[in-house]
Structure 1
Amino acid sequence: MTTHVEALAPSAAATADPQHWPDVARVPRTPLKATVARRLLRRIARRRGLRVELPNGRLLEPAPAGAPVLRLHRPDAFFHRVGMSGLIGFGESYQAGEWDSPDLVGLLTELATAPETLVPTGAQWLRRLYVKRPPAGELSTPDNARTNIHRHYDLSNELFALFLDPTLSYSSAVFATDPAGAPLASSENLAQAQHRKIDRLLDLAGVGAGSRVLEIGTGWGELAVRAAARGARVVSLTLSEEQLALARRRIAAAGFTDRVEVRLCDYRAAEGEFDAVVSVEMVEAVGRPFWPAYFATIDRVLAPGGRVALQAITMPHERMLASSGTYTWILKYIFPGGQIPSTEAIRQATARHTGLRVAACDSFGPHYAQTLRLWRERFTERADEIAALGFDQVFQRMWELYLAYSEAGFAAGYLDVQQILLTRPEPTR
């Protein structure tokens, strides 16, 4: 059944360079799978109360007032893409300008709520029609890891500076909260909230004057600077040449070149002995096959009595297991080689491969949703400046979807972020 609505204005198509965006420029033709995708979307629209608007002034299914809107500008292309490659096709269709939403985060939050229920239990076998495994060339082996990091973090320091705050912190902030515990987030207090996050992590690791600190994942150097300001000596590891150069300049400008050394180095090659190891949202880039090596390295370099403080994005263990080994749109276009862990996976990896144990966890997922909202707003407001850096419309739509998709994951509770303390238990006598 279809229902009339006001006709939609045609979407401005995102012209995709077939050399740079081959799978966005090319629309697959798969009539049977497209029919299945259309029927599945109708079911989702009915079950979730979505308003799926078609360009001929109709609705795919009747929808309640105020329902999240999925506006299809080129339905045939959308259904063929989704039928061929599922959520990868869903994302590529957005990059191509084939669908939109007046509230992208609201729509994606609804879809991220209990995502395992979107496909009927009896139709789960359909995943085999489109689900692929990550390419071997993107697994984060020592040979591949630098390429994976380069594809995201070496895009442009100027690009990141346009939407991050002045600390250039590319991870969840910790905001002050209202009496109900909701984060009080604004663009004016984002830098302060990033410092609050860093300081809590350094406190968790026990970093103070004279501490020997290893940081795995430099970012643009803000954590290393704040650790050095406490009197610590820091070795910071990165595989991003762009981040390395700018972090060194920022550390020098802060006057801490005598206390901070930034190395272009894989975590597996870390050397030395440290009182504290800190790592902010790095474990997600390691990839599940390499978590044992990641935690074993930390265990190897941690001095007796030392402490490890991680900030990690996490997901429920069952969802992690279900998605492990699946090639997703995020892996294809944003973070190749990655895998978001569960807290249980971190407990298992440390228990099986190290003497470390999880001693404490502090979760603050709503703060990440707000952090991402502020980044997304700044990103979209500065579209002209981003274009001037040489990033085309397909790239901008890709990043808008990435930021909105991530924000929705935290808003729905599908994703969480935690600061996790690892220590070596005292031997029993």
Structure 2
Amino acid sequence: MTTVEPRCSTDGPVGAVDPARWPDVAAPPASSPLRTAVTAAVVRRALERLPLRVRFAGGGTAGAGGPLLEVHDPRRFHGRIGAHGLIGFGESYMAGEWDAPDLVGVLTVLAAHAADLVPAPLQRMRGLWAQRQPAAQRNTPEGSRTNISRHYDLSNDLFGVFLDDTLTYSSAVFRGFPADQDLLAAAQHRKIDRLLDLAGVAEGTRLLEIGTGWGELAIRAAARGARVTSLTLSREQRALALERARAAGAADRVDVALCDYREARGTYDAVVSVEMIEAVGAEFWPVYFRTLDERLAPGGRAALQAITMPHDRMLASRDTHTWIQKYVFPGGLLPSVEAVAETVRDHTRLTVARRDAFGAHYAETLRLWRERFTERADDVAALGFDATFRRLWTFYLAYSEAGFRSGYLDVQQYLFTKEDSAR
């Protein structure tokens, strides 16, 4: 098993990659010289059309001008992409085989051209070369517990490093741009208040929250006089959310249950779910929306915040295993606006009463998280997370920000109403 030689990176020297922790990063996939050469030709042809400057170690450039992408190890860079596509591209960054002074800028260009990076003939044969999602990551009740734990149970302290004091891990809503770190907590409260207003949460409201986070929405709803039942699959989140509810004097109005959404019972005046659907998986979207329907009393209102992607790209990639799924959100899949509308129409008695998009706000939210994560890299290291993990999360935050800056991703706030109980 080989290790990666030290490289210059945005997080200091990468050093040797731990093969036990990061086996597919430490050991590049085997690739024949012919396959690597063919991949290099395909990659360079794709890059030539893009507003990038690509510089390869040992000589050679590509791109039409723009942010710099510097490839330190072209052989391994092309070998990984040839073997594993975009997963290989991300793993190559984790290994320190390429860098970019403006990582978000480079990834924004790539996201803007995501639909045509792969030549059309290869796109048509996607089913033959693209990795399939592992069966083990299906979001069954047991699978969901494992998938959620792999991300949200990493460490509450890790998330505390880069989130604001509200510990809100979803898009904020700002008054204007550019946003400031000091205004992030207020922007998160603005987002939460908009959702609670959409759902009509007030004194005496029986509120179901699907996806607790670290409890800020539940606490804020309780301050309005609501009685909140909040569901999470993360033990670490539940413990801290209950602690925060007690500290806020809301323990008697907030119940946080370690419970899958499919196990929820009872009816509620309002249901709120913030960026939870992304962890559900297409297979279970009908079940998720039926749960909103079944738990919502007639005349009730449900507010949902969801990250969305273009419908055609969702259809093309829904069965593909991605870098994000492998390293960040196992089992995750972003829906499209069309998929949400179709699922609600075909499987529930709910009506889409309102939809507001605000993707630019998510780009700013992610920028602030990324900057804080970078500034506090030593704190992340002190928690026991190695340099490869820090590069992974730097890439994840930049990759996500680029998706919103390019317009490839968007985020929506939905209002669903349920006027009566008859189908």
Shorter chain as denominator, the TM-score bin is over 0.9
* 17-26 or 259-268: bigger deviation: 17-26
Letter of the structure 2 residue corresponding to residue 76 of structure 1: R
Query: Which residue in the other structure is 1:61 paired with?
Result: 62
2:403 is the alignment partner of 1:415? no
Q: Cα gap change, 1:422/1:212 in structure 2, threshold over 3 Å: closer, same or farther?
A: same
Task: Say how many residue pairs are matched.
Answer: 412
Q: Deviation of residue 212 (structure 1)? A: 0.2
Check whether the contact 1:84–1:129 (CA below 8 A) recurs between aligned residues. Answer: no
1:399 correspondence with 2:393: yes
Residue of structure 2 equivalent to 1:75: 74
Q: Deviations over 1:353-379 (max 9, x none)?
A: 110121110000000000000000000
Q: Which amino acid aligns with 1:77?
A: R
Could you tell me which amino acid in structure 2 is paired with residue 39 of structure 1?
A
Match of 2:362 in 1: 368
SS in 2 for 1:20: coil
Mapping of 1:272-421 within 5 angstroms?
A: 272-421=266-415
Partner Cα distance (1:62, 1:274) in 2: 55
Q: Out of 25, 44, 47, which is 2:49 matched to? A: 47
For the residues of structure 1 that align with 2:297 and 2:283, how far apart are their CA atoms?
A: 26
Helix, strand or coil at the partner of 1:70: strand
Unaligned runs of 5+ in 2: 1-6
Q: Distance in 1 between matches of 2:63 and 2:172?
A: 40
Change (3 A) 1:271 1:62: closer
Residue in 2 aligned with 1:143? 142
Given that 2:305 and 2:411 are in contact with CA atoms closer than 8 Å, whether structure 1 keeps it comes out as yes
Which residue matches 1:86? 85
Alignment of 1:104-143 (within 5 A): 104-125=103-124, 127-128=126-127, 130-143=129-142
TM-score by length of 1: 0.93
Q: Which of 239, 249, 253 is the matching residue for 2:247?
A: 253
Q: Which runs of 5 or more residues in structure 1 are unaligned?
A: 1-8, 178-182
CA deviation after TM superposition for structure 1 residue 330, in Å: 0.3
Report the CA distance shift for 1:30/1:230 in structure 2 as closer, same or farther (over 3 A). same
Write the distance in 1 (CA, Å) between the matches of 2:235 and 2:148: 9
User: Which position in structure 2 is the counterpart of 1:24?
Assistant: 25
CA distance in 2, matches of 1:369, 1:237: 27
CA contact under 8 A between 2:212 and 2:230: conserved in structure 1? yes
Q: Let me know the Cα RMSD of the aligned residues.
A: 1.5
Q: CA deviation at 1:29?
A: 2.1
Question: Within 1, Cα distance between the matches of 2:38 and 2:264?
Answer: 50
Quote how far apart the aligned CAs of 1:399 are.
0.3
**Segment of structure 1 superposing worse, 339-348 or 228-237:** 339-348
Distance in structure 1 (CA, Å) of the matches to 2:330 and 2:369: 21
For residues 197-239 of structure 1, what are the alpha-carbon distances to aligned partners after superposition, in whole Å with 9 as ceiling and x for unaligned? 0000000000000000000000000000000000000000000
Encode CA deviations 1:407-429: one digit per residue, 9 max, x unaligned. 0000000000010011125699x
CA contact 1:347–1:357 (8 Å) conserved in 2: no
- Deviations along 1:339-394, one digit per CA (max 9) or x if unpaired, are 10011111111111110121110000000000000000000111111001000011
* 1:105 to 1:297, Cα distance in 2 relative to 1, 3 A: same
Matches within 5 A, 1:111-260: 111-125=110-124, 127-128=126-127, 130-177=129-176, 183-260=177-254
Distance in 2 between the 1:220 and 1:392 partners? 25
**SS where residue 263 of structure 1 aligns?**
strand
**How far, CA to CA, are the matches of 1:228 and 1:46 in structure 2?**
55
Structure 2 residue matching 1:53: 3-state secondary structure: strand
Residues 83 and 130 of structure 1 are in contact (CA less than 8 Å); yes or no, is this contact kept in structure 2? no
Percent identity among equivalent residues?
Answer: 61
Tell me the residue number matched to 2:3: none
Structure 2 letter corresponding to 1:54: F
**Corresponding letter in the other structure for 2:257:** R
Q: What is the SS of the residue equivalent to 2:62?
A: coil
